[in-house]
Structure 1
Amino acid sequence: MEELGDIVQEFLVESHENLDQLDRDLVALEQEPGSRELLSSIFRTIHTIKGTSGFLAFNRLERVTHVGENLLARLRDGTQVMTPETTNTLLRMVDVVRTLLTTIEETSAEGEVDVDGVIEAVTACIEGGSPAAPAAKAEPAAKAESAAKAEPAAKAEPAPAAKAEPAPVAEPAPAVEVGTVPAPVAPAAAAEEDHAGAEPGVGQTRRSIAESSIRVDVDLLDKLMNLVGELVLTRNQMLRAVTASSDPALARTGQRLNLITSELQESVMKTRMQAIDHLWSKLPRVVRDLSSSVGKQVRLAMEGRETELDRSLLEAVKDPLTHLVRNAVDHGIESPADRRAAGKPAEGVLTLRAYHEGGHVIVEVADDGKGIDPARIAEVAIKRGLLTRDQVAHMERREILNLVFKAGFSTAEKVTNVSGRGVGMDVVKTNIERIGGAVDVESTLGEGTTWRLTIPLTLAIIQALTVECGTERYAIPQVAVHELVYLDGQNGRVIEHAMGAQVYRLRGKLLPLVRLDETLGLPDSSGDRDVYVAVLQAEGRKFGLVVDRVLNTEEVVVKALSSRFKEIGMYAGATLLGDGRVALILDVPSLARRAHLNVGAVDRAQAEIDATKGGNDNVDRLLIAGVGERRVAIPLDMVTRLEEFPLERFERVGAREVVQYRDQILPVLRLAQLLGVYSDTEQAASVPVVVYTERGRSVALAVDRIVDIVEDVVGAQRDFGDDGLMGSAVIQARVTELLDVRRAIMAADPRFDAEGVDTDGGLDLDPTMMVGA
């Protein structure tokens, strides 16, 4: 069934349902041959199957249903009278249609099923003659039906009529098989008999496509999703209780509950999913009409039609997506003459692409047009007073391109019925961010533009970072969080002020800050020391949200807010945390707008900092780790991944300390041992590690803490040292030792450069470098 397209599967399911209804209607019609209601119902059913089969290029099926439709039209219009022979012929047609559908389901094609015999039989009925010779086998059944029809009791009591039903249904199959229909009929009939007579699980090798689906009311699914949401909340509370308990039996029960809840949540969410093709199906007409009206040739390509999205989000994405498509045709793709002059084909290509990534659905609208000129965008922004030339000079290309999302911004030279009024892209961004998504643009001048929508899989349950400010807890959608920074006032990492704006120096760049307590009118409980900064992105720029504490990341169930809370515009919803407390979900875009970020002041301050650097490009990106009282800098390009393992995850293989990591047994190198310092991780509940991988071999460098990731000028201070150290440098006003990762590993395992790889996928580290060796 997986090989069949979604449209074909839906056609097969509906057709099987229609055929079952046809069987019942035809038998009932034999009892009431003059019923126009039954005739009209049968005619509509056959007409539907015929139309769809023609669209899907199932020619044999179309031929059979077409001639059957002709016969039913005569019966419906009263030009022909219903007879037992007519009923047998129509039932025989239904059986052949069922055989064709079964063959399509099993082989994705109609195969060699011969339909000429049944077509001749139906044609003979239309012309008023006797059915074709192969139909003679069905005569006993026809006589039995005629006799049943002649009995007066048959009309008075429904039971005899019901008993007569199997006769016309069962007999036509052998009649079709003789000289007309090849072998596929017999297996299909046999399969149906086996299925009808066997108990569940006995003699069944395959479930038919008609039996693999069921129609469910949407309201019931919504109610089921709400119940799953409540179960997720209960699961979170249970896990919180398990963490506080030392009962191993309770821990196992909690793990089992967590697994079952996650699987149930995923399954229920799938029932609400619809293919994005439901949304895309109307766009070819939009592209066709618009390209014709503006004199362009545009071909629409679609990739990832089967990508599924929560049905509640499809409607929210409809208008933004339609606007992006119209904008691409009107603005992006050039006229045929301009394309030829640029060495391109006259026909432009507009590509819709959808795929899953990181728990979200990514929808791209890409054209191969002229692209967006950043210089043109900047000039328009300066002309309209949105930015100054000094600000533009220090903006990145991506930031300039994102100016197209400003309200009222337009580069169109003339107003048309499609564009030029400065209304559209800001609405696209607002609508997408309203559902917790994001929109971005990439463009190369002369090659084309790609608009990228990042959409959550569902609005009901999201991943969120829970934080604390004062005595209140809040949830931040994980999609908006880029990183977390801890400001340790004792180490000189404090909030600064640049031209009246609160900023933090993040890897050499000034990050504008928003204090959550000030924005929400809460009392200041932390000052400028010992706080956390959640680095968020909104309105095309990054900013830092200052909070008192970061708690954890968990799945939260989004609850709608009352109208009073919505009017505040600061919250996207509410949720119930694992400890039973209520937390408001922050609306990141609204938070950024309400905070009135002093972007201009930050940009001017950044320009001054850049000028003082004198153009020195000798900047290294370093991971700063704490080992005992010492600070160690590791080149970021040597870091494959950062992990943190609970202490109980560390095991021993002989004299070696290892940890299980991604189906590997990963050897552990303690930097404290290498540097000969006391490590405070021996008493800690978990140990941070830096994973380094080379040629498929990995090693975990255990440290005491991860301090920061910095961009710093590192050069003259270097001097080669021993034990894997390259020397030292002053970074963030602190003396920091520079680690040579490969030399450190070679000190632990001189065979690291050897070509052989252990069966466990790790390194043969010298046991003397392991803790406790």
Structure 2
Amino acid sequence: MDELGDIIQEFLVESHENLDQLDRDLVALEQDPGSREMLSSIFRTIHTIKGTSGFLAFHRLETLTHAGESLLSRLRDGAQRMNPASADALLAMVDTVRTLLGSIEESGGEGDVDVEPVIAMVAACIEDPAAPKPAQASAPAPKAEPRPAEAVESAEPTAPVQAPEQPEAAEALAAEVVESVETAEAVPARAAKGQASDEPTGQNNKRSIADSSIRVDVDLLDTLMRLVGELVLTRNQIVRGVSEISDPALVRTTQRLNLITSELQESVMKTRMQPIDHIWSKLPRVVRDLSGAMGKQVKLAMEGKETELDRSLLEAVKDPLTHLVRNAVDHGIETSAERVAKGKDPQGTLTLRAAHEGGHVVVEIKDDGAGIDVDRVAQTALDRGVVTRDQLSRMDSREIIALVFRPGFSTAKKVTNVSGRGVGMDVVKTNIEQIGGAVDVDSTLGAGTTWRLTIPLTLAIIQALTVECGAERYAIPQVGVDELVFVDGQSGQTIEHVSGAPVYRLRGKLLPLVRLDETLGLPVRNSDRDVYIAVLQADGRRFGLVVDRVLNTEEIVVKPLSGRMKDVGVYAGSTIVGDGKVALILDIPSLARRAHLAAEAVERAQVDQADSRPRDSHIERLLIAGIGERRVAIPLDMVTRLEEFPVQRIERVGSREVVQYRDHILPVIRLASLLGCYDVEEGETVPAVVYTERGRSVALVVQQIVDIVEDHIESRSDLDDDGLTGSAVIQQRVTELLDVRRAILAADPRFYAEMSESMVGA
């Protein structure tokens, strides 16, 4: 049935349900022939099957049901009265419809099912209501007599089971029955002999489409999802508790419980998933009517309409999606005359695209219209006081385009019933963020605009990062977390302050920070060292959230908040973590808005820094390594890869140290010895920077890999040590700049000579 379309599958399921109801109703009608309510219900059911079969081009099915509809119409209107002959004819029609549906399910077509005898039987009842039914040979039903009680038994649309004609066939059938009830202990034995234990014995074992689906109340699914959520919470608590107990058997049982819970959760989630086509199906009409009213030609293309979303999210996405589509037709796509003048096709194209990406659903609304004029957006933002001229000067084109999401912002030249009133895009953004999603826009002037919605698969269970601040625990939705940074006080790292706002220098760029303790009114710690920074992304900005500890990442069940907690404005919900404690879920967009002042301070500081920077400084990407108390910077383009070698694998050959690496013998150079540093006692492994040139590699052993930075380097050539080119202030610490080639020559003068010899020998 995979090759049949969704419409046909739904038609088959509903028709089988209707036929079962018809069997019961016709039998009941025979007992109460004058029930107009029953007659009307039967007529509507047959009419529905007839209409859909005609739409799907099942002509024999349409003709058969039309004949039955004609008889039912006379019975309903009182032109004739229900009698056994009419009941038999209608039940024969139901049996034949069921046979046709079985053929459609098996082959996709009506096959060679003959409907003419039953049509003649029904016609005979119309012409002569008292006439007896035709001979049994004219009825297509497989049973000897299509009595009402037997009609229900013939519901299976697959080929009927024929009684075996020979004793050998009867014995084989009996053997199959006995085999089907064999005990579980016998199954492995037979499997060992090469016999298939679960092989179907014939076509009758195939499950029909009518038996492959059932209708379930939505409230029951919601209840089941809540119970699965509670099971996930309990699973998390058990997993955490067992991790502290060294019992292998209990650990294995817990791992099995973990696997089963995950599979159950995934299966229950699938019951709530519905294709996004449920809301896309209404958009062709929207595009048609709107483009016609505006004198435009717009073709709507849809890709990925089978992509599934939780049903609770479909309703939340419907209005934002509809608004973006209307906006694209109104603002984005030009009139036919304007498009022809620009050398475009007179018909514009609006493309809807949906796909699963990284645990989310990404929906794109793309048009090939005029695009967004960045200069016009910037001027509108200035005129309306959305941004200042100084702020605008520091924004790139993508940030300027994102201003369309500000409340009250609109560039429409005139107000229509579609757009231009200054409402809409901010509401779209707010609605998407309320369900844990994000909205972004990308546009090229003259080529078109793409609106991108990132939507979670479900709201009930999400991946979250659990952190600690003070004595309290909080959960951060994993979708908004870019990376984690530990501010190591022993390495001299610290949080800085610019114009009173906290910032952190991450890879040479200032990152605005939000202190969670200050935001929530918790006791503020006095030190800015030995803390964690969760680098988050929201509202088109990156910012860091300062917390005391990072605990772990786990699936959490989202619980709604009371009204008072919602008023706080920084919480998106609550959950119960693995140890049974309650944790509040942080609202990342709300925290991003609180980071706005710090971001402005960072922008001002970066402008000031750019104005005061010496002209001879330049940007470099460097790997910072720790060697004793000293810090050394290695140009990143001189780093082939980073490795950690077990100490026991480092061997000595003559006066050199070497290590076996990727089927080669790799020379080892200890930078601590080269620079005359105190050699700190080693652990089980040593970090090394592998440098490769012309097929030869060398391992530069350091004591610690600190960071990778991108910064403006102002070098001072005040060092004359071998292998060093000078020093610079990087991350507020004096750092020595390593010349890799000179360092290798200082440690091993024959390294490049041997390289040349090997190249000549090659």
Same fold (TM over 0.5): yes
- Structure 1 counterpart of 2:201: 203
Q: Are the equivalent residues in 2 in contact too, given 1:514–1:595 (CA < 8 A)? A: yes
Unaligned runs of 5+ in 1: 149-160, 174-184, 656-665, 694-699, 719-724, 752-773
> Taking structure 1 as reference, are residues 628 and 348 closer, same or farther at Cα in structure 2, changes over 3 Å only?
farther
- Structure 2 counterpart of 1:355: 355
- Structure 2 counterpart of 1:176: none
Report SS of the residue matched to 1:209. coil
- Structure 2 counterpart of 1:770: none
Report SS of the residue matched to 2:211. helix
Written as runs of structure 1 = structure 2, the 5 A alignment for 1:13-24 is 13-24=13-24
Say whether residues 1:337 and 2:337 are aligned partners. yes
- Structure 1 counterpart of 2:109: 110
Partner amino acid, structure 2, of 1:128: E
Q: Are the equivalent residues in 1 in contact too, given 2:118–2:138 (CA < 8 A)? A: no
> Taking structure 1 as reference, are residues 563 and 284 closer, same or farther at Cα in structure 2, changes over 3 Å only?
same
Match of 2:161 among 175, 186, 190: 190
Report SS of the residue matched to 1:468. strand
Question: Distance between the aligned counterparts of 2:641 and 2:272, measured in 1?
Answer: 35
Partner amino acid, structure 2, of 1:225: M
**Pairwise CA distance, 1:65:** 2.4
Q: 1:498-523: CA deviations, max 9, x gaps? A: 23332222233322211111111111
Q: Which has the larger radius of gyration?
A: 2
> Taking structure 1 as reference, are residues 610 and 141 closer, same or farther at Cα in structure 2, changes over 3 Å only?
closer
Deviates more, 1:666-675 or 1:480-489: 666-675
> Taking structure 1 as reference, are residues 499 and 630 closer, same or farther at Cα in structure 2, changes over 3 Å only?
closer
TM-score, length-scaled by structure 1: 0.78
> Taking structure 1 as reference, are residues 289 and 165 closer, same or farther at Cα in structure 2, changes over 3 Å only?
closer
Q: Are the equivalent residues in 2 in contact too, given 1:90–1:122 (CA < 8 A)? A: no
Q: Are the equivalent residues in 1 in contact too, given 2:410–2:421 (CA < 8 A)? A: yes
- Structure 2 counterpart of 1:514: 514
**Pairwise CA distance, 1:123:** 6.2
Report SS of the residue matched to 2:30. helix
Q: Are the equivalent residues in 1 in contact too, given 2:299–2:348 (CA < 8 A)? A: yes
Question: Distance between the aligned counterparts of 2:665 and 2:467, measured in 1?
Answer: 32
Written as runs of structure 1 = structure 2, the 5 A alignment for 1:254-269 is 254-269=254-269
Question: Distance between the aligned counterparts of 1:314 and 1:616, measured in 2?
Answer: 56
Question: Distance between the aligned counterparts of 2:145 and 2:219, measured in 1?
Answer: 47
> Taking structure 1 as reference, are residues 301 and 57 closer, same or farther at Cα in structure 2, changes over 3 Å only?
farther
- Structure 1 counterpart of 2:534: 534
- Structure 2 counterpart of 1:567: 567
> Taking structure 1 as reference, are residues 671 and 573 closer, same or farther at Cα in structure 2, changes over 3 Å only?
farther
Partner amino acid, structure 1, of 2:572: A
> Taking structure 1 as reference, are residues 488 and 141 closer, same or farther at Cα in structure 2, changes over 3 Å only?
closer
> Taking structure 1 as reference, are residues 492 and 140 closer, same or farther at Cα in structure 2, changes over 3 Å only?
closer
- Structure 2 counterpart of 1:592: 592
Q: Are the equivalent residues in 2 in contact too, given 1:336–1:346 (CA < 8 A)? A: yes
Say whether residues 1:121 and 2:129 are aligned partners. no
Unaligned runs of 5+ in 2: 165-172, 182-197, 652-660, 673-678, 693-698, 718-722, 745-750, 756-762
Report SS of the residue matched to 2:210. helix
Say whether residues 1:322 and 2:322 are aligned partners. yes
- Structure 2 counterpart of 1:661: none
Say whether residues 1:415 and 2:408 are aligned partners. no
Partner amino acid, structure 2, of 1:375: D
Question: Distance between the aligned counterparts of 1:670 and 1:257, measured in 2?
Answer: 47
**Pairwise CA distance, 1:377:** 1.2
**Pairwise CA distance, 1:309:** 0.8
Q: Are the equivalent residues in 1 in contact too, given 2:634–2:737 (CA < 8 A)? A: no
- Structure 2 counterpart of 1:735: 736
> Taking structure 1 as reference, are residues 489 and 112 closer, same or farther at Cα in structure 2, changes over 3 Å only?
same
Q: Are the equivalent residues in 2 in contact too, given 1:85–1:142 (CA < 8 A)? A: no
Question: Distance between the aligned counterparts of 1:405 and 1:124, measured in 2?
Answer: 67
- Structure 2 counterpart of 1:277: 277
Q: Are the equivalent residues in 2 in contact too, given 1:93–1:118 (CA < 8 A)? A: no
Q: 1:25-58: CA deviations, max 9, x gaps? A: 2333333333323322221211222222333343
Report SS of the residue matched to 1:104. helix
Partner amino acid, structure 2, of 1:538: A
Partner amino acid, structure 2, of 1:444: T
**Pairwise CA distance, 1:267:** 0.9
Question: Distance between the aligned counterparts of 1:480 and 1:300, measured in 2?
Answer: 32
Partner amino acid, structure 2, of 1:367: D
**Pairwise CA distance, 1:264:** 1.1
- Structure 1 counterpart of 2:525: 525
Q: Are the equivalent residues in 2 in contact too, given 1:668–1:701 (CA < 8 A)? A: no
> Taking structure 1 as reference, are residues 335 and 9 closer, same or farther at Cα in structure 2, changes over 3 Å only?
same
> Taking structure 1 as reference, are residues 573 and 142 closer, same or farther at Cα in structure 2, changes over 3 Å only?
closer
Question: Distance between the aligned counterparts of 1:238 and 1:640, measured in 2?
Answer: 44
Deviates more, 1:213-222 or 1:422-431: 213-222
Report SS of the residue matched to 2:224. helix
Partner amino acid, structure 2, of 1:306: E
Matched residues, number: 691
Report SS of the residue matched to 2:414. coil
Q: Are the equivalent residues in 2 in contact too, given 1:404–1:425 (CA < 8 A)? A: yes
Written as runs of structure 1 = structure 2, the 5 A alignment for 1:670-681 is 675=670
Question: Distance between the aligned counterparts of 2:635 and 2:667, measured in 1?
Answer: 18
- Structure 1 counterpart of 2:306: 306
Q: Percent identity?
A: 65
Q: Are the equivalent residues in 2 in contact too, given 1:39–1:75 (CA < 8 A)? A: yes
- Structure 1 counterpart of 2:436: 436
Report SS of the residue matched to 1:375. helix
- Structure 1 counterpart of 2:27: 27
Q: Are the equivalent residues in 2 in contact too, given 1:623–1:708 (CA < 8 A)? A: yes
Question: Distance between the aligned counterparts of 1:470 and 1:140, measured in 2?
Answer: 77
Written as runs of structure 1 = structure 2, the 5 A alignment for 1:282-681 is 282-594=282-594, 596-612=596-612, 619-621=619-621, 624=624, 675=670
Report SS of the residue matched to 1:188. coil
Report SS of the residue matched to 1:212. coil
- Structure 1 counterpart of 2:186: none
Report SS of the residue matched to 2:127. coil
Report SS of the residue matched to 1:295. coil
TM-score, length-scaled by structure 2: 0.79
- Structure 2 counterpart of 1:235: 235
Partner amino acid, structure 1, of 2:48: T
Question: Distance between the aligned counterparts of 1:289 and 1:303, measured in 2?
Answer: 21
Q: 1:584-630: CA deviations, max 9, x gaps? A: 11111122334552443322222233345578896454565668877
**Pairwise CA distance, 1:131:** 9.7
Question: Distance between the aligned counterparts of 1:738 and 1:134, measured in 2?
Answer: 103
Q: Are the equivalent residues in 2 in contact too, given 1:236–1:578 (CA < 8 A)? A: yes
Report SS of the residue matched to 1:532. strand
Q: Are the equivalent residues in 2 in contact too, given 1:405–1:425 (CA < 8 A)? A: yes
Q: Are the equivalent residues in 1 in contact too, given 2:576–2:583 (CA < 8 A)? A: yes
Question: Distance between the aligned counterparts of 2:163 and 2:220, measured in 1?
Answer: 32
CA RMSD of aligned residues (A): 4.5
Q: 1:187-232: CA deviations, max 9, x gaps? A: 62339999xx976976364221111112222222112111111111
> Taking structure 1 as reference, are residues 707 and 267 closer, same or farther at Cα in structure 2, changes over 3 Å only?
farther
**Pairwise CA distance, 1:434:** 0.9
Q: Are the equivalent residues in 2 in contact too, given 1:670–1:701 (CA < 8 A)? A: no
Q: Are the equivalent residues in 2 in contact too, given 1:404–1:410 (CA < 8 A)? A: yes
> Taking structure 1 as reference, are residues 703 and 384 closer, same or farther at Cα in structure 2, changes over 3 Å only?
farther
Partner amino acid, structure 2, of 1:735: E
Q: Are the equivalent residues in 1 in contact too, given 2:405–2:426 (CA < 8 A)? A: yes
**Pairwise CA distance, 1:575:** 1.1
Question: Distance between the aligned counterparts of 2:226 and 2:663, measured in 1?
Answer: 45
Report SS of the residue matched to 1:597. helix
Question: Distance between the aligned counterparts of 2:402 and 2:339, measured in 1?
Answer: 26
Written as runs of structure 1 = structure 2, the 5 A alignment for 1:680-699 is 682=683
> Taking structure 1 as reference, are residues 143 and 308 closer, same or farther at Cα in structure 2, changes over 3 Å only?
closer
Report SS of the residue matched to 1:287. helix
Question: Distance between the aligned counterparts of 1:637 and 1:270, measured in 2?
Answer: 47
> Taking structure 1 as reference, are residues 641 and 11 closer, same or farther at Cα in structure 2, changes over 3 Å only?
farther
Q: Are the equivalent residues in 2 in contact too, given 1:640–1:690 (CA < 8 A)? A: yes
Say whether residues 1:250 and 2:250 are aligned partners. yes
Q: 1:278-323: CA deviations, max 9, x gaps? A: 1212222221221122221112211111111111111111111111
Question: Distance between the aligned counterparts of 1:320 and 1:93, measured in 2?
Answer: 48
Q: Are the equivalent residues in 2 in contact too, given 1:634–1:739 (CA < 8 A)? A: yes
